[in-house]
Structures are given as C-alpha cells and as structure tokens.
C-alpha cells in the first residue's frame, strides 16, 4: 500500500514505520501524504486502539526532505508546502492513541510529527534540533503551537530561534517526552505502553484524548496554522533567507 512506510496491525496495536533508512527517513512529500493516508486508514480499523510511530534504521527522521520540494515556479507548490500541516493534523486527530518511538535524530518536521503524537518515548541516543531558521524558513506544519503546548512559549522561542541541538534528557526535562530509556529498552517499552493502553476501555481513553486536545487547541490555536504554508513559501523567496539556506547546506557538505 505504501512506498515510504511500513504499516502493520496486530490485534489492538498498529504500527507505522518510517521506511526510508537510506535517507534517515527524511520526510518527502510522498511520505507526508502517505502518513496522512495511514492515519485515515487506522481510523477505519475499529479494533486498533494504539498506533506506534517509529523509524527504520539509524534515526527516527532527519526532517523534511528538501531535495524533493517543488521549485518556486512549479504547479502544486502551496499544496506541497501544506503537506506537513495536513499530515500533522491527520496524526493528531486519529481515533487511536498514538505513541512516538524516537531514536537517533529527530529533526525539524520530524519533531512536529512527534509533537502531533499523544505520547512520546525516546532512547538515550536521541538528538533533537529545529534548524528551519538556519535554512531561512519559519517552522511550519503547525509546529509552533504544538511546541508551545508541550514545552511553553519561552522554550519554544529559544529552541526554534537558536536552532541548537538538544538531547533526550533536556527534552524530558522540558516536558516534551513522557519517558527516556536506554536504546535497548525503547522498543520493548513502547510495546508495553501500547499494551497497557490497549487493555483499557476504548471509550474513556478516546474521551480523555479528545477532551485534552480540545482544551489545548483553545489555548494555542492550532487551527491558525493553515497559513503556515504561505509563511514557508515567503521564506523560500526572500533573498536573505535564500543566502542563509545556501550557507547552511554548504556547511553540511
């Protein structure tokens, strides 16, 4: 069914594996669209109560795949710029409870994907960064309100503006993670958590998820993120931003 994902279900527990390990699971437009489609697929699987989202290979995800982004003069530019927001909304609004199982790098848009999940576990080796401003673009895809919701406005401003790397210990202290575990325990812990949730009565779990999301949506205004795509495109056409992006990419070669 999918080219960039491995989607499975066993009883009450489903899994979505980001499956581009040769690219550190970079989030291409195709993968973003497939993630949204997989979220809708699980919404149709009444027996699935928990979905674990993880990455194959050495990382959860290296973030947005800039190589596959349309050129400014191509048709479909805004739809491509908006694909990450559509994905994050679809994941966040899933009926099943979602668990992000994070190891290795979790960068930029991948951090937004994790923030869209209900619960987050990370290995000791997890490394987080939000390099968008160094790339000359704002953090889009509804990332700002989701980070404000999870870690507060001051920490959101610092991490997004400085683009600095932070580890799993700091992410746990900031409130972004539910748990930090050794790398050899991560998969088992995610499975145990999924089984624990799946064993609960489905209705009150769903009610708790929906109620919590409704309260926080009113606090941070996620619905306003529909305009993120336009801000992203503005960053792509701004000359100073283009220079910053070129310098950042050259520094990584």
pLDDT at 70: 64
Mean pLDDT of 138-167: 97
Provide, rounded to the nearest whole percent, the portion of the chain with pLDDT above 90.
Answer: 87
Question: Residue 15 has what pLDDT?
Answer: 98
pLDDT in tens, 71-84: 766 678 899 999 99
* pLDDT at 122 exceeding the cut of 70: yes
The predicted structure's pLDDT at residue 84: 96
Domains in the chain, CATH or no CATH each:
5-184 (3.90.226.10)
- Tell me the pLDDT of the chain averaged across its residues: 95
User: Over the stretch 38-95, which tens digit does the pLDDT of each residue have?
Assistant: 999 999 999 999 999 999 999 999 999 977 766 766 678 899 999 999 999 999 999 9
Residues 130 and 156: their CA atoms lie apart, in Å, by 10
Residue 112: closest CA among 158, 150, 167: 150
**Each residue of 197-225: pLDDT tens digit?**
999 999 999 999 999 999 998 888 888 89
From 183-187, 203-207, 241-245, the region with the lowest mean pLDDT: 241-245
CA–CA gap between residue 155 and residue 170 (Å, rounded): 11
Is the pLDDT reported for residue 165 higher than 70? yes
């Amino acid at each position: 069914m999918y080219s960039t994902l491995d989607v499975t279900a066993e009883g009450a527990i489903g899994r979505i594996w980001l499956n581009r390990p040769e690219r550190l699971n970079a989030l291409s437009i195709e993968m973003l669209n497939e993630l949204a489609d997989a979220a809708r697929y699980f919404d149709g699987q009444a027996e699935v109560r928990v979905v674990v989202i993880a990455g194959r290979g050495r990382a959860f995800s290296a973030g947005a795949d800039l190589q596959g982004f349309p050129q400014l003069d191509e048709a479909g530019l805004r739809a491509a710029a908006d694909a990450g927001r559509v994905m994050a909304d679809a994941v966040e609004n899933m009926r099943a409870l979602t668990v992000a199982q994070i190891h290795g790098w979790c960068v930029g848009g991948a951090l937004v994907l994790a923030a869209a999940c209900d619960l987050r576990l990370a290995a000791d080796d997890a490394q987080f960064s939000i390099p968008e401003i160094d790339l000359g673009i704002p953090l889009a895809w509804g990332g700002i309100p989701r980070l404000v919701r999870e870690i507060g406005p001051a920490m959101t401003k610092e991490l997004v503006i400085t683009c600095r790397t932070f580890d799993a210990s700091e992410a746990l202290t900031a409130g972004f993670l539910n748990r930090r575990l050794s790398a050899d325990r991560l998969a088992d812990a995610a499975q145990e958590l999924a089984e624990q949730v799946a064993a609960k009565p489905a209705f009150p779990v769903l009610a708790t998820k929906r109620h919590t999301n409704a309260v926080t949506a009113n606090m941070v205004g996620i619905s306003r993120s529909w305009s993120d795509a336009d801000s992203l495109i503005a960053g792509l056409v701004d000359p100073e931003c283009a220079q910053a992006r070129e310098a950042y990419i050259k520094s990584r070669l």
